Amino acid sequence: MRLEKLIWFISLIIALPLGTFAQNTPKKVWVLTEETVAVVNKEPILLSDVKLYQLLFGVKDFKTALERVIDIYLVSQYAKERGLSIPPQKIGEIVSNFAKSQGLTVEELYIRLQKLSLGGSAFNNFIERYNLYVGAINIFVLKPLYENKEELLLLIAS
């Protein structure tokens, strides 16, 4: 009996520090990461980006949507490299206007997106990237073409 108590006491002494250690160590948190469907200049394109494009632009074909999202990533990266950016408050304004155009509040929009497994932050990121894309096309392509309309007409005529 005394030997059993001694063994129990020793195991308690050994287990106590282990229990204390276990309480102080951070618990493992499993985070589901979203599927990467492509990579553009070391930047992953997520499945949610393609799904958002399909949803917003009514494109049913996944491959077509992915190609368009790759274009958006390439051009928005180009825009960022040249110093273009969209302030967070402007993104908030764009999201708010979009929600209103759908007859929703921003919160209702985010709830609907969440039901489609598309979170609000994914939506905001996509909106930012898409607006950088549009801005870059306007600044770096359309504006120079418009400013050099006569040269463009000569090129087209030849």
Q: Report pLDDT digits (tens) over 30-80.
A: 444 579 999 999 999 999 999 999 999 999 999 999 999 999 999 999 999
pLDDT at 142: 72
pLDDT score for 23: 45
pTM of the shown model: 0.69
**Buried residues in 9-21 as b, exposed as e (16+ CB within 10 A):** eeeeeeeeeeeee
The C-alpha atoms of residue 66 and residue 47 are separated, in whole angstroms, by: 9
The pLDDT of residue 70: 97
Domains in the chain and their CATH numbers?
Answer: 36-157 (1.10.4030.10)
pLDDT tens profile 93-135: 999 999 999 999 999 999 999 999 888 889 999 999 999 999 9
pLDDT at 3: 43
